[in-house]
Amino acid sequence: MRLLLCHRDGQPAAPWLADLRAALPGAQVDDWRPGLPPVYEHAVAWNPPQQLFDEQPQLRAVFNLGAGVDRLLALCLPPALRVVRLEDAGMAVQMAEYVCHALIRFFRGFDGYARQQQARQWAPRPAPVRGDFPVGVMGLGALGARVAQAVRQFDFPVLGWSRTPRRVEGVRCFDGAAGLHEFLRGTRVLVCLLPLTGDTRGILRRDTLARLRPGGYVINVARGGHLVEADLRALLDEGHLAGAALDVASAEPLPADSPLWRHPGVTVTPHVSAQTGRREAVEEVARAVRALAAGAAPSGLVERGRGY
């Protein structure tokens, strides 16, 4: 078995190659470079160039080193190529941490207390009521379900929405276009964990965000393409939304002249809510490779027509 590693994110290849070789003994694992002969069965990749697939049209599968495959599917891929994405690889617990941190910071007003400290003010505020802050999670896959369950541990009411029916214990679930408006009307803190597809691009726009309960808050840890940033700023300035925590942006890195940097209601982080763990990712890839070798469908197999 021959595998290619194509990791275009500035990370050294050597640790990835070593871990892949250890997890798949007997396999030939090489670092991709232009001009290699087309003799490889699989590729393990993150942000690969089109050249990889142009030069290796015989590939049977590509294993995406992340949960989102929108950038990969934007390339011209061989029709028979199987695309397999990571489902966890240490990301679920990180995503839950990030969302719970952003949620509780907003709910408890910790940004306000930080400003009070700078002004040397000692001014306790009334305790908020959790029932007034229902949390809606958009996207109930492996990551979204983990986030919803983590939020439940803090006794917030939790709603969930997905394109197709899902069930998560303790979560009031909605699905499809028919369920979206009711889901939004019941939500005050909106968490986006959707895959980015043609149907979900721009889903966080004025007519959807305006349906949130007054004083709403948006946490986007999915893709910047889900959010119409100008509509978010307008609803913040109008007072319908109280704030937002954005880990992703429509253009990354976020341009220095973006108004989001300076908006008092917005917290920006540089796409760090869930970072792929190398060893966990290699374990997932190895399981998927072994499943394919046994003639089984691996966990994380992407339906290319749906985009996830």
Q: How confident is the model at residue 233 (pLDDT cuts 50, 70, 90)?
A: very high
Transcribe 130-191 into DSSP letters. GGG--EEEE--SHHHHHHHHHHHTTT--EEEEESS----TT-EEEEHHHHHHHHHHT-SEEE
Q: How confident is the model at residue 8 (pLDDT cuts 50, 70, 90)?
A: confident
Q: Tell me, yes or no, whether 95 and 161 share the same domain.
A: yes
> How many domains are contained in the chain?
2
Whether residue 137 is contained in a domain is answered as: yes
DSSP state of 118: H
Beta bridge partners of 143: none
**CB-based contact 32:4 (threshold 8 Å):** yes
- Residue 34's identity, in one-letter code, is P
Q: What is the mean pLDDT of residues 129-143?
A: 97
Name which of 207, 189, 102 is nearest 138 in CA terms: 189
pLDDT at 11: 78
pLDDT at 7: 86
pLDDT at 9: 72
Catalytic residue among 2, 271, 287, 304: 271
Mean pLDDT for all residues in the chain: 96
Active site annotation includes 223: yes
Residue 282 belongs to domain spanning: 2-89+276-293
Whether residue 299 is contained in a domain is answered as: no
Q: Tell me, yes or no, whether 125 and 223 share the same domain.
A: yes
Catalytic residue among 223, 226, 263, 278: 223
Question: Can you tell me whether residue 258 is helix, strand or coil?
Answer: coil
